[in-house]
Every structure is written in structure tokens, then in C-alpha cells.
Amino acid sequence: MVSGRKTDLERRRRVVELYEQGLSPAEIARQVGMSDQGVRYTLNAVQKEKARSVSCRRCKVAINPTGALPRNHGRALCLACLAKTPEASFGDRLLSLRLAHGLTVMDLARRAEVDAGALYEYETDKHEPTWQPLVRLVRVLGQELVVFGEGQR
């Protein structure tokens, strides 16, 4: 189980902004009320996040890297392309929506109360969920997860 303080996204954005302006970690720390070590840790985390970047397999636009894994590269669709692809598999939809919501597999598993191993199986199209996990996933990710009829959602 992950513990500790949740990320302050606004402060993280400010740290990156100040760093890009050329300020040193010590100067940034004074301005945002963090330690030098905290600033360095934040910048390192941002670099790792950029390295995990995922792009849409159709239009190549960048997709939210939060929750992305190296194996997701080249598999996910952005929401615009997903909307234009009613024939997308359940696994494609699940992966694309999970990434669009900025969730890791573990985050989604906790929120939807679905086993993380099962989510992996669903995302890789090895299995499709029964109705109970499906309903739980739809509650978290929205009805875009399922296609109700030909051309209808």
C-alpha cells in the first residue's frame, strides 16, 4: 500500500515552471516553501513521468502519462480517436479510459473494487469482465467503456 502525502499538482506545476525559467533548486525551494531535496525529488519525478509518455496509436497525440507503463506505448487511443473507433476492443477502451483519467492499474483496482490481475487480463483482451466488475468499472470510468449498439454509445 502506498503511503505518504498526496501530490500537490499546483505546486508541482509551479516548480517545473520556475525550473524552466532557470532558477536553481534552492531558489525554487524558497519561493514554493519546500526543501531543496523536495524540489529535486519533484523534478526527478516529472522527468520520469515524461519518460513514460504514451501517444495515441492513431493520431500520435500525447496521452496523460500518469498511470502509463512501458507496455502501454503504442496501444492506447486518445479519447477523440476512441470516440471514432466503435470497433475498439474492450481492452483498448479500458486502457484508453484508464490513462485518460490518469489512473494506474492499482488506482483503478481500488476505486472499482476489481482485482488488479483481472484488470491486466481485461486490458490485454485475454478475458472480458462479467457484469459485476463491468458495472464497477463503468461507475469509475463512465459509459464510454462500453458500446451499446452499432454506432451508438
- Domain 54-145 indexed as CATH 3.20.20.70: no
SS3 116: helix
Read off the pTM: 0.65
Helices (H), 35-130: 36-51, 79-83, 90-100, 105-112, 116-123
- For residue 94, count other CB atoms closer than 10 A to its CB: 24
| pLDDT classification of 148: cutoffs 50, 70, 90 | low
Q: How far apart are CA 88 and CA 81, in angstroms?
A: 10
Q: Which region among 3-7, 54-58, 120-124 has the lowest average model confidence (pLDDT)?
A: 3-7
Task: Give 2's pLDDT tier (boundaries 50, 70, 90).
Answer: low
> Residue 67's Cα: distance from chain center in Å?
4
CA distance 69 to 63: 12
Question: What torsion, rounded to 10 degrees, do the Cα atoms 94, 51, 81, 130 define?
Answer: -10
* Residue 6 DSSP code: P
Determine the average pLDDT of the residues in 14-30: 92
Q: Report the distance separating Cα 47 and Cα 105, nearest Å.
A: 21
The DSSP line for 25-58 is HHHHHHHHT--HHHHHHHHHHHHHHHHT-EE-TT
Residue 99 near residue 135 (C-beta atoms within 8 A): no
Q: What pLDDT is stored for residue 140 in this prediction?
A: 96
* pLDDT, tens only, 85-134: 999 999 999 999 999 998 989 999 999 999 999 999 999 999 999 999 99
